[in-house]
Amino acid sequence: MKAAPVAELRRAVTTWGSYSWGYADVGADIYVALGVVVGIAAGAANVAFAFAGIVYVCIGLAYTELAAAYPVAGGGQFFVMRALGDFIGFVAGWAVLLDFTIDIALFAWFTIGYISFLFPWLVTHQLTYFICVLATTAFLTVLNGVGVKQSSRLNELVSVLDVVTETIILVSAFLLVWNPQVLLHTMQTHWPTTENLLKGVSLAIISFVGLESISHAAEETRRPTTVIPRTSVALILTILIFALSYSNLVLGMSPIHLSNGTTVPMFQYVGSTDNNDKAIAVLASQIPGVLGVLFAFYVPMVGALLVLISSNSGVFGASRIAYSMAKFNVLPSWFQRTNAKTRTPLGTIICFSGISVIELVAAYLQGTQAIGFLTDLYAFGAALSYTLVFAALMTLRFTDSVAPRRFKMPWNIPLTVAGRKGDLSLLSVVGMIGIVAILVFTLLTHPIGRIAGPTWVILGIVFYAIYRRKHGMPILRSLKRDWVKLHEHTLTGAGEIEMLDEYRAGVAAERAAANKP
């Protein structure tokens, strides 16, 4: 079955735009995850972030290799489908769609959370708070409907502002209020239970979700095979430094004296239900002197803007994944239709923004557990999709070894599997083990994620089966595709002529070897 011809996405994202797309999503995660993780993992919050950080580095390098080799809009969903077939590719894409719709909802929620630091009355008027969250979602839907170039400009502006801000906060806090003895004391006296530590690890991965945004924009990035490795590696280092620094900072800050005369550890104050939706602003406001006063007004605004553009990346990512899935007939062709004027998949944007609104309503009905409801689902979707991406990376190293890879994960061992030669990155094995462990932790320690996450996947599979059967396509088997022709078309559209020549030569050599008697 052939989909109707559609307009292709416009290549309008520059090098800094590519970095800012990733930073817009991942950079905001510490604003969301810090309070949630320290509220659960307590004195082992830095350990939780460190474990998730190791896995994140492996995930980041895997996405960098795959996105540079296959610069298409679908990101992880395309990689899995290319390696493991239509059905598994759908499951991977559906899991990522869960994450990005939650991204829209969760980060819109935290946008208002940071604003509430300046306007505390929002906290006591929950309906008003919720209406503001819905308005934020509507604004981002309109913004992405206008076009990726306009959306990218917002990301670029706020990203550079936040990198500077987070750096200043860290330097100031470590110099003025951090004490290594307090850090050691906190870790010794507030070590969590095993269950809370595992739950903290599963939630800490939230700090690193979103690097795949760079790969989702690959089809709209100029010279992606050159740009993506540079921006991805830079982003990996930036976010890893921030996550590890903030988690150690909050555990090593002096206790805070409350107005009622009591004293509590800083991590408990930041991780409380009153403050965990604006953790970085609360932390920065405790820096003494003029800086603390300045940060109390400035950081909530920057935090709100950064979390806003992360929610924006959720709108963007969901629409691009669905666009790619429809392009390959794992979703109805309606999802790949682009607006004639803006060249964006406007209907898809509205559809998944609408799903995020449903998730917001469900979260609102949870009352004080709203954030927990959203983060449970977020952790499940990320862990499942990343597990499948690692499987795809390992498979493609053998089934499509001739595809030029300008960047490869390190520590490679040459192997021959089922007559196919390739190599296996030991780092990909480490990442695979780590993310599977996080998926298990999520299922064991998150009651909502344990039920709602698999339910989302099952409902998606039912929808997929109905769609494929209705159009006479196999459910468990894949459609026949000319992957060579598609890859040539992709490299041509990306302007990667040298890689195109290398790929054609590799394919010709492989075919000649296969035809030898």
Determine contact, residues 451/406, Cβ cutoff 8 Å: no
Residue environment code for 463-498, b if the CB has 16+ CB neighbours within 10 A, otherwise e: ebeebbeeeeeeeeebeeeeebeebeebbeebebee
Q: What is the pLDDT of residue 12?
A: 46
Whose CA is closest to 267, among 505, 48, 494?
A: 48
Q: Which of 10-19, 153-162, 319-328, 336-345 has the lowest mean pLDDT?
A: 10-19
Q: What is the pLDDT of residue 35?
A: 94
Residue identified by tokens 């987070």 is 166
> 130-156 pLDDT, tens per residue?
999 999 888 877 776 665 554 556 667
Phi, psi of 110 (to 5 degrees): -70, -25
Provide the 3-class DSSP secondary structure of residue 471.
coil
pLDDT at 375 over 90: no
Q: Which of 219-233, 341-355, 375-389, 412-426 has the lowest mean pLDDT?
A: 219-233
Report the distance separating Cα 413 and Cα 425, nearest Å: 6
Whose CA is closest to 117, among 255, 260, 298, 269?
A: 298
Report the distance separating Cα 243 and Cα 211, nearest Å: 14
pLDDT band at 340; cut points 50, 70, 90: low
Q: What is the pLDDT of residue 456?
A: 93
Q: What percent of the chain has pLDDT over 90?
A: 48
Report the distance separating Cα 480 and Cα 493, nearest Å: 22
Give bridge partners of residue 53 from the DSSP assignment: none
Provide the 3-class DSSP secondary structure of residue 105.
helix
> 149-176 pLDDT, tens per residue?
545 566 677 778 888 999 999 999 999 9
Q: What is the pLDDT of residue 3?
A: 42
Determine contact, residues 134/360, Cβ cutoff 8 Å: yes
Q: What is the pLDDT of residue 1?
A: 45
- The DSSP secondary structure of 289-353, one letter per residue, reads SHHHHHHHHHHHHHHHHHHHHHHHHHHHHHHHHHHHHHHTTSS-GGGG---TTT-S-HHHHHHHH
Dihedral Cα 107, 108, 114, 117, nearest 10 deg: -140
Whose CA is closest to 392, among 337, 435, 333?
A: 435
Determine contact, residues 408/425, Cβ cutoff 8 Å: yes
Q: What is the pLDDT of residue 15?
A: 60
Mean pLDDT on 225-246 = 86
Q: What is the pLDDT of residue 153?
A: 64
In one-letter notation, the amino acid at residue 121 is W
Provide the 3-class DSSP secondary structure of residue 410.
coil
Mean pLDDT on 59-64 = 91
Report the distance separating Cα 106 and Cα 311, nearest Å: 8
State the pTM of this model. Answer: 0.86
- The DSSP secondary structure of 150-211, one letter per residue, reads HHHHHHHHHHHHHHHHHHHHHHHHHHHTB-HHHHHHHHHHSPPPHHHHHHHHHHHGGGGTTT
> 221-235 pLDDT, tens per residue?
566 777 778 788 888
Dihedral Cα 70, 75, 77, 78, nearest 10 deg: -20
Report the distance separating Cα 165 and Cα 303, nearest Å: 9
Higher pLDDT, 103 or 456: 456
pLDDT at 71 over 60: yes
pLDDT at 5 over 50: no
Please give the C-alpha separations between residue 32 and each of 78, 224, 422, 505, in angstroms, as whole numbers. 28, 30, 40, 48
In the chain, the domains with their CATH numbers are: 15-481 (1.20.1740.10)
> 259-304 pLDDT, tens per residue?
778 889 999 999 998 898 899 999 999 999 899 999 999 999 988 9
pLDDT at 37 over 70: yes
> 463-486 pLDDT, tens per residue?
999 999 999 999 999 999 999 999
Provide the 3-class DSSP secondary structure of residue 272.
coil
Phi, psi of 328 (to 5 degrees): -110, 20
Q: What is the pLDDT of residue 50?
A: 95
Phi, psi of 178 (to 5 degrees): -90, 140
- How much is the CA Rg of the chain, to the nearest whole Å? 23
State the burial class of residue 389 (Cβ atoms within 10 Å of its Cβ: 0-12, 13-18, 19+).
buried
Higher pLDDT, 152 or 364: 364
> 399-413 pLDDT, tens per residue?
999 999 989 999 999
Dihedral Cα 513, 514, 515, 517, nearest 10 deg: 80
Name the DSSP letter for residue 19.
Answer: H
Report the distance separating Cα 274 and Cα 128, nearest Å: 17
Per-chain mean pLDDT for the chain: 86
pLDDT at 193 over 90: yes
